Amino acid sequence: MGLKLGKVNRGPHLPALVASSISREIAQGRLRPGDRLPTEHALAATFGVSRNVVREAIAKLRSEGRVWSQQGRGAFVAEAGNSTVLSIDHDALQKGGAFRSLFELRGILEVHAAALAARRRTKDDLARMQEALADMTASPYGSVQWLKKDLEFHTAIARATGNAYIVQFIGFVSEKVRESILVAGGSHASDEMAGATLVEHERILAAVRAGDPAAAQEAMRAHLGNAAARAGAYGRGAPPKLTGRRKRSEKAPSVVSAL
């Protein structure tokens, strides 16, 4: 089959990285429909990971419709066009253009969602947003916990729209952004960026709470533009210009939030 698999960089999302590498082999035709994948043992040795990581990667590919499994025989590449699940290649997102495009998609989805949330939010929705923001404030900026609560804040905005499809798509896109940040790490974290990010979220929440769709859209648009710059979607030049500073006492770890 002429595979070009190799060891993946160590990181918090090894199964996703392994799945991404196999997906790339399929996309580039080195693994064709009907081909059987190497054994778990062989894949583990090739990638330099445990067999449990390989199992999780195969399960991910199976859920995406890229491979199918048969007990006792192994995993096989699915026929082209069989996948009905949206997927995004991690390696592709390491390229500036693709990452920038992902943020453009976020803008299309989340700016409008913020307006709908301002019109439809309930007390419970607002409580979920407030709780997520409070947990962000209490977490070290850019940590895994910060990123988790950041994602929960955006998910709460999506849920407030009352549209299950918006929740599904925003959750998927935001999670891909979060995974890419965790895999790539960050280099511009600072107390200034922490304060600016929190203020941006506070403005979104205030607009949604006030029931002001136009203000919610503007606050979300500004946040996503700044977030894209912080995540390096526009290149690794000068850090973005920050406004609404709010000092944080925690030292910034290596991972940068961009949600």
| Structural domain 90-230, CATH architecture | Up-down Bundle (1.20)
- CATH node for 14-77: 1.10.10.10
Closest to 151 (Cα-Cα) out of 182, 174, 185, 125: 174
Stretches in the chain below the pLDDT threshold 50: 1, 82, 186-187, 237-258
Angle of helix 96-120 relative to helix 164-184, nearest 10 degrees, comes to 140
pTM (2 d.p.): 0.61
Chain centre distance of CA 114: 19
| Domain ranges (residues) in the chain | 14-77, 90-230
Closest to 227 (Cα-Cα) out of 142, 118, 164: 142
Per-residue buried b or exposed e for 126-155, using 16+ beta carbons within 10 Å of the residue's own CB: bebbeebbebbbebbbbbeebbebbbbbbb
What share of residues in the chain are helix, strand, coil (percent, to 5)?
Answer: 60, 5, 35
| pLDDT for res 179 | 67
